[in-house]
Every structure is written in C-alpha cells, then in structure tokens.
C-alpha cells in the first residue's frame, strides 16, 4: 500500500490506533491521493505518532498547536490535501481554543481526533472527554469536571461537517473519513477507540455495544437539519450516535478572503524538492 510504511510501531498491543492506521492508509489510497501532495499535521500524543508510520508528508507541532500549522499550510498551498490529526487531549484540551477558531474560519482541512477519553501518552490522567466519576491516575477520587461534547460544540459553532466513527468498524471509518476529506471546508471527525492500558471503562466492547450509525438507524435522518443534528450530538450514554451527524456547506476561508479567492497561491512548487543532503545531516 502506498501510504503504509514498513516500520516498527510503538503503540501498546491492542490499541485502537493500529486499526485506525490501516483504515486511514486504505482510505487515502482509494481516494487516489499522492503522498507528496498530502500533508498530515499533528500535535503531541500517541495519536500524533500516526504520520511517523505512514508514507506521507507531515509536521509535528507543539502540544495542541497542530491546527494553526494546518491553517497556514492550506492557506499558502490550497492544492494540498491537509489532514490535522491528534488525540482528544491534544485537540480538545491544549488545542481547544484553536479548534473553536478553526471552525469559525472554515478552512478546507480534515480534522481527525482519536478520542479514547483519556490521556494515553502521559499515563492515564483524565482528558476533556473523560466522563464524570471515572477514576484515573491523577483523579484518584474520580473526575469531577463536566466532559466536553466535541460534536455539540462543533455544531453550535456552525461547523459545516461533523461526524463520528470508531476504530472497530473499518468500512464505516473509511466511508466517513473519505467523505470528510472530499468535503470542501472544515470537516471534524471524532474517532472513538479504546486505550487498553489506561482506560478500563471505555473498552472495545463498551463502544461496540453503544455505537450506532444515525443514517442506518433512521433512513429519514437529514444531515442538513442543524437542530436535529444538535439534538443527536447530545446523545451519549447507553447509545452513542456515529456517522455523518451534520453536513451543510458554507463558504470557505479561501472563497471569502479578498486575495485568496482570486486564486492567488503563495507557494507554487513546480519540482519536487530534493532534501537528501538535509536528511543526511540530521541522521
């Protein structure tokens, strides 16, 4: 597969990231994307290791700071397929403010958030999506903070594409993420998956029992109905909705900007740069 690298993976055995990696590589391949025209931007965390294990251009930013870099890259080179990818802690916690304003700007980037409801890299403290009462390595009496609802937040901010999938349903993941990448505008995909080392509550079986696709559950579900989508986004408990929850195009940053809407490109590479010498110096 073009997008898979033959390299050692440093995730815990059983982590949902393994399945996400395979499904994402297949999705990019089936979309006929080219690695040299596809860019993945990440922050810090176990999820943010993803591009290390793919044959893809990537940039690791600071903790929670992936979205500003993704915005800059897409702004100067709109022909790039840009994917901002990280975990629930990095993207919803440290990067929460950037997420809010990315949605406001509506630049054409796909945001994939690995949501295992815990901080995995830093040994299991509660993340923004950890449920109340969940006992963690740092909240030994149980989490007392109200959990963040990323789908409800995104819909309330008029994000034009809001979806959820999970690591246990490869075909579902590929369908949702493919639609997100093809969508013109900001697309947020919340990807549920287990953390086998530090979250013994939200396990693979826990997700499998609860997750259901909204369009399969109700064939009349209208993804353009913002009120219904918001109501659906609030559902999290015995049943957890996934699939495309809300989808309604609005003008992108490039279409609204007085210079960029004229087709101006700040970067126009005619030849693939040769960075062999630079890489040898680093090695």
CA dist 177 and 72 (Å) reads 22
CA dist 106 and 123 (Å) reads 34
Question: Is residue 87 over pLDDT 70?
Answer: yes
CA dist 109 and 90 (Å) reads 17
pTM: 0.92
Residue showing tokens 């369908």:
175
Question: Is residue 34 over pLDDT 80?
Answer: yes
Q: Which CATH architecture has domain 16-282?
A: 3-Layer(aba) Sandwich (3.40)
Question: Is residue 271 over pLDDT 80?
Answer: no
Question: Is residue 269 over pLDDT 60?
Answer: no
| 28-32, 77-81, 185-189, 228-232: the lowest-pLDDT one | 77-81
Task: State the pLDDT confidence band at 36, using cuts at 50, 70 and 90.
Answer: confident
Which residues face 81 on adjacent strands? 38
Packed helices 96-105 and 66-76: angle between N→C axes, nearest 10 degrees: 30
Report percent pLDDT > 90 for the chain.
84
Task: State the pLDDT confidence band at 121, using cuts at 50, 70 and 90.
Answer: confident
| CB contact at 8 A, 45 and 87 | yes
Quote the mean pLDDT of the chain: 93
């Amino acid at each position: 597969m073009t997008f898979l690298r033959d390299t050692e993976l440093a995730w815990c055995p059983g982590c949902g990231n393994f399945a996400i990696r395979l499904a994402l590589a297949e999705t990019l391949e089936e979309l006929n994307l080219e690695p040299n025209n596809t860019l993945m931007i990440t922050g810090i965390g176990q999820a943010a290791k993803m591009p290390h294990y793919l044959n893809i251009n990537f940039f690791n930013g600071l903790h929670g700071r992936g979205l500003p870099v993704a915005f800059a890259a897409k702004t100067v080179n709109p022909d790039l397929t840009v994917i901002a990818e990280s975990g629930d802690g990095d993207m919803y916690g440290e990067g929460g403010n950037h997420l809010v304003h990315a949605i406001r700007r509506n630049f054409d980037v796909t945001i994939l958030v690995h949501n295992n409801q815990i901080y995995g890299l830093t040994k299991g403290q509660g993340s923004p999506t950890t449920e109340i009462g969940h006992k963690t390595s740092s909240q030994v009496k149980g989490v007392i903070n109200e959990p963040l609802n990323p789908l409800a937040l995104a819909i309330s901010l008029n994000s034009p594409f809001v979806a959820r999938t999970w690591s246990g349903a490869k075909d579902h993941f590929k369908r949702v993420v493919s639609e997100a990448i093809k969508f013109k505008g900001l697309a947020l995909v919340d990807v549920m998956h287990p953390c086998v080392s530090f979250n013994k509550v939200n396990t693979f079986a826990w997700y499998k029992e609860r997750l259901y696709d909204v369009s399969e559950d109700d064939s009349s579900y209208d993804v353009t109905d913002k009120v219904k989508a918001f109501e659906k986004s609030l559902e999290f408990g015995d049943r957890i909705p996934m699939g495309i929850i809300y989808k309604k195009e609005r003008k992108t940053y490039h279409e609204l900007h007085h210079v960029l809407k004229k087709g101006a490109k700040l970067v126009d590479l005619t030849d693939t740069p040769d960075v062999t010498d630079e890489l040898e110096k680093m090695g």
